[in-house]
Amino acid sequence: MKNCNQILAENKAWIEETFEKIDTKMQAVTLRSRDKIVDGVDENHRHIVARPTWWTAGFWGGLNYLLYEYTKNEEYLKTGREIERQMDEGLAQYEQLHHDVGFMWHILSGVAYRILGDKASRRRNLFCASVLFSRYVPDGGFIRAWNGGAPHDDWSIVDCLMNIPLLYWASRELGDDRFKQIAMAHADMALLDHLREDGSVIHIVEHDRESGEPRCFHGGQGYNAESSWSRGQAWALYGFALSYIHTGEERYLNAAKRVAHYFIANCCDDWLPRVDFRAPAEPVYYDSTAGACAACGLIEIAKAVGEHEGGMYMNAAVNILRAMDERFMDYDPDHDEMLTHGTVLYPVNGDPKKSGVHKSIIYGDYFYTEAILKLLGSEFNPW
């Protein structure tokens, strides 16, 4: 197995060309969608918007900040600033907020604070950290996911591993260890209750509120409760890697590796992740967003494990990104979308359209770009 540096050297030209194509395209799109809180695209390849409390609402502004951080192109900064301003309407709707405030503000206002030193952005992110903190169920030892009363109040979902970096950040920022303690309690719960022995993960765990013990499992956006929704695997893969980065605790790195091994084994036929790794082989439903997020986590694992072990993870990340580049990336500057073939959920009702199968979703563009920036050598961690 080649080591990371050899893999990066061999792929240098492709990495640089890919970023060039992303940057060229995004210079046009950022002007067209400056005032849109983007969610996806319509049939005319134009961005459509999300409400500012929808969980995807932070990605478009976050993507612009990420591009600004690397290129210093002011047009990206202007879009990021405008979207962050518009998102204040979401912050004002306290009852509508939920555990995804990390996805929504940590990569937006959290990044704005880190790259611009903006104190208002810092306050926004601290407010969100307090919201996430307040969702912790102390006896159960988990952060509750969505709103809506019973039984949702007793649900934890694997996606939340991507929200808790907000708590690690707040803990350092405020010098208050309690935020980190809650983040680690939730990550340890996910290790026990969401991660199966074989490295696959469960999307939704319903807990006994007093003991925290799992009462039952739900398939959520996957095929069923025993299956393995690929974006959930990706949230766990990158999420555990991020918990390792923020805490230095080896158990999180080992968890990320277990999920990574399972993920790689299940998509290395053609390196294009299906929506669920334990669903019927036909019809084929892809989820490119799972591949883009998993690639980010694989690159971080490769960096964490060192020279003689990292090659396998780096190789997998590059293979996934290259396969998706060939099959799914749209670089036409007249189209707003970039990564196609994302999927919202497995179409258990049999209607792919109702389940959002094979569409462009903004977090696909976000994670694909983040992964390419990592391959280019950017050390900036937006999470």
Write out the catalytic residue numbers: 100, 159
Q: CB of residue 101 vs ligand GLY: minimum separation in angstroms?
A: 12
Report CA 134 to chain centroid distance, whole Å: 22
Alpha helices in 134-229 (DSSP H): 165-174, 177-189
Which of 19, 55, 252, 262 touches ligand GLY (CB under 6 A)? 55
Q: How many residues comprise the chain?
A: 383
Instruction: CB nearer to ligand GLY: give 110 or 311.
Output: 110
Q: CB of residue 103 vs ligand GLY: minimum separation in angstroms?
A: 7
Q: CB of residue 344 vs ligand GLY: minimum separation in angstroms?
A: 6
Q: CB of residue 293 vs ligand GLY: minimum separation in angstroms?
A: 9
Cβ-closest position to ligand GLY:
159
Nearest to residue 181, comparing CAs of 192, 195, 167? 167
Show contacts with ligand GLY in window 205-244 (CB under 6 A).
221, 231
Write the DSSP symbol of residue 379: -
How many residues line the site for ligand GLY (CB under 6 A)?
A: 4
CA 281, CA 223: separation in Å to the nearest integer?
12
CA 194, CA 353: separation in Å to the nearest integer?
29
Instruction: CB nearer to ligand GLY: give 314 or 339.
Output: 339
Show contacts with ligand GLY in window 127-166 (CB under 6 A).
159
Instruction: CB nearer to ligand GLY: give 135 or 231.
Output: 231
The full DSSP string for 110-147 is HHHHHHH--HHHHHHHHHHHHHHHTTEETTTTEE----
Instruction: CB nearer to ligand GLY: give 110 or 232.
Output: 232
**Residue 170 exposure: Cα atoms within 13 Å on the Cβ side:** 28
Question: Which residues, listed in sequence order, are joined to residue 339 by a DSSP beta bridge?
Answer: 329
List contacts with ligand GLY (CB under 6 A).
Answer: 55, 159, 221, 231
